Chain A
Amino acid sequence: MADTTDDQPGARAEAEPILRLSGVSKRFPGVKALEGMRLDLYAGHTTALVGENGAGKSTLVKILTGIYTPDTGSLVVDGVERTIHSPRDAWADGITAIHQEPVMFDELSVAENIFMGHMPVDRRGLIDWSSMIARTTELLERIEADFAAKTQLKRLGVAQKHMVEIARALSHDARIVIMDEPTAALSAREIDDLFRIVADLKRQGRAILFISHKFDEIFRVADRWTCLRDGCLVGEGLIAETTEDELVKLMVGRSIDQVFPKREVAIGEPVLEVAGLSNATEYADISFTLHKGEILGFYGLVGAGRSETMQGLMGISPPTRGTIRINGHEARIAAPADAIDAGIAYVPEDRQIQGAVTALGIRENMSLASLAKTANKTGFVAYAAELARTRDLGSKLAVKAAHWDQKLMELSGGNQQKVVIAKWLATKPQILILDEPTKGIDIGSKAAVHAIMADLAAEGLGIILVSSELPEVMGMSDRIVVMAEGRMVRVFDRAGATPEKIVSVATGGMA
Chain B
Amino acid sequence: MTQIVTRRELVLAFIIVAMVLLIGVRAPVFLSFDNLRFVVTDTSVLIMMALAQMTVILTRGIDLSVAANLALTGMLVALLSRALPGLPIPVVMLVALLIGAGLGLVNGLLIAGLGIPPIVVTLGTLAIYRGAIFIVAGGAWLTSKDMTEAFLAFPKAEFLGLSSLTWVALVVTIGFYVFMTLTRTGRGLYAVGGNPVAARYCGVSLRLSQVLVYTLAGTISGLAGYLWVARFGIAYADIGIGYELTVIASCVIGGVSIAGGIGSVIGTVLGALFLGVVANALPLINISPFWQMAISGAVILAAVIVNTRSEWKPQKLILHEARRAAAGGQK
**Do A and B have CB atoms closer than 8 angstroms in the complex?**
yes
Q: Chain A residues with Cβ under 8 A from B116's Cβ?
A: none
Q: Chain A residues with Cβ under 8 A from B5's Cβ?
A: none
* B→A interface (CB under 8 Å): 1-2, 178, 181-184, 187-188, 190-191, 194-195, 197-204, 261-262, 314-320, 322-323, 326, 330
Interface residue from B200, B201, B314 paired with A281 (Cβ < 8 Å): B314
Binary CB contact string for chain A from 76 to 89 against chain B (1 if under 8 A, 0 otherwise): 00000000001110
Interface residue from A126, A150, A487 paired with B182 (Cβ < 8 Å): A126
CB atoms of A127 and B184 under 8 A apart = yes
CB atoms of A99 and B201 under 8 A apart = yes
Q: Chain B residues with Cβ under 8 A from A155's Cβ?
A: 330
In this assembly, does A152 line the interface, its C-beta being within 8 Å of a C-beta of chain B?
A: yes
CB atoms of A87 and B319 under 8 A apart = no
Interface residue from A116, A279, A281 paired with B199 (Cβ < 8 Å): A116
Q: Which of B194, B197, B204 has the most CB of A within 10 A?
A: B194
A275 to B235, CA, bound (A): 73
Q: Chain A residues with Cβ under 8 A from B322's Cβ?
A: 280-282, 486
In this assembly, does A383 line the interface, its C-beta being within 8 Å of a C-beta of chain B?
A: no
Interface residue from B182, B197, B262, B315 paired with A282 (Cβ < 8 Å): B315
CB atoms of A104 and B195 under 8 A apart = yes
By Cβ-Cβ distance, the 6 closest A-B pairs, closest first, are A117-B202, A103-B198, A281-B322, A87-B203, A486-B318, A486-B319
CB atoms of A283 and B197 under 8 A apart = no
In this assembly, does A138 line the interface, its C-beta being within 8 Å of a C-beta of chain B?
A: no
Interface residues of A in 101-151 (CB under 8 A from B): 103-109, 112, 116-119, 121, 125-127, 129, 150-151
From residue A88, how far is it (CB to closest CB) to chain B in Å? Answer: 4
Known: A87-B203, A305-B319. 19 other contacts (CB 8 A): A67-B200, A67-B201, A87-B200, A105-B191, A106-B194, A109-B1, A116-B187, A116-B202, A125-B183, A126-B178, A126-B182, A127-B184, A157-B323, A280-B315, A282-B315, A282-B316, A283-B318, A305-B316, A485-B319
Q: Chain A residues with Cβ under 8 A from B191's Cβ?
A: 105, 108, 116-117
Chain A interfacial residues counted at CB < 8 A: 44
A117 to B315, CA, bound (A): 31
From residue B76, how far is it (CB to closest CB) to chain A in Å? Answer: 33
A272 to B113, CA, bound (A): 54
In this assembly, does A406 line the interface, its C-beta being within 8 Å of a C-beta of chain B?
A: no
In this assembly, does A303 line the interface, its C-beta being within 8 Å of a C-beta of chain B?
A: yes
Instruction: Across the interface, name the chain A residue whose C-beta is closest to B257.
Output: A107
From residue B167, how far is it (CB to closest CB) to chain A in Å? Answer: 23
From residue B53, how far is it (CB to closest CB) to chain A in Å? Answer: 18
Interface residue from A87, A108, A151 paired with B187 (Cβ < 8 Å): A108
Binary CB contact string for chain A from 371 to 395 against chain B (1 if under 8 A, 0 otherwise): 0000000000000000000000000
27 contacts between A and B (CB under 8 A): A66-B203, A86-B203, A103-B197, A103-B198, A106-B195, A107-B194, A108-B187, A108-B190, A109-B2, A116-B187, A116-B191, A116-B202, A117-B188, A119-B184, A121-B184, A127-B181, A157-B323, A279-B315, A280-B322, A281-B318, A304-B318, A308-B315, A308-B316, A317-B315, A485-B318, A486-B320, A487-B319
Q: Chain A residues with Cβ under 8 A from B316's Cβ?
A: 281-282, 303, 305, 308
Instruction: Across the interface, name the chain B residue whose C-beta is closest to A110.
Output: B2
Instruction: Across the interface, name the chain A residue whose C-beta is closest to B320.
Output: A485
Interface residues of A in 468-487 (CB under 8 A from B): 485-487
Instruction: Across the interface, name the chain B residue whose C-beta is closest to A108.
Output: B190
In this assembly, does A284 line the interface, its C-beta being within 8 Å of a C-beta of chain B?
A: yes
Instruction: Across the interface, name the chain B residue whose C-beta is closest to A86.
Output: B203
From residue A192, how far is it (CB to closest CB) to chain B in Å? Answer: 20
Instruction: Across the interface, name the chain B residue whose C-beta is closest to A281.
Output: B322
CB atoms of A281 and B203 under 8 A apart = no
A64 to B190, CA, bound (A): 26
In this assembly, does A210 line the interface, its C-beta being within 8 Å of a C-beta of chain B?
A: no
In this assembly, does A65 line the interface, its C-beta being within 8 Å of a C-beta of chain B?
A: yes
A115 to B317, CA, bound (A): 27
From residue B58, how far is it (CB to closest CB) to chain A in Å? Answer: 10
Interface residue from A86, A105, A279, A280 paired with B195 (Cβ < 8 Å): A105
A127-B195 contact given A67-B200, A105-B190, CB 8 Å threshold: no
CB atoms of B261 and A127 under 8 A apart = no
Instruction: Across the interface, name the chain B residue whose C-beta is closest to A279.
Output: B315
A112-B187 contact given A91-B203, A99-B201, CB 8 Å threshold: yes
A127 to B187, CA, bound (A): 9
Interface residue from A86, A107, A305, A486 paired with B190 (Cβ < 8 Å): A107
CB atoms of A282 and B190 under 8 A apart = no
CB atoms of B198 and A283 under 8 A apart = no
Interface residue from A117, A280, A487 paired with B204 (Cβ < 8 Å): A117
CB atoms of A303 and B261 under 8 A apart = no
A119 to B204, CA, bound (A): 12
Q: Which of A65, A127, A129, A304 has the most CB of B within 10 A?
A: A127
A129 to B1, CA, bound (A): 9
CB atoms of B319 and A282 under 8 A apart = yes
Q: Which of B203, B314, B318 has the most CB of A within 10 A?
A: B318
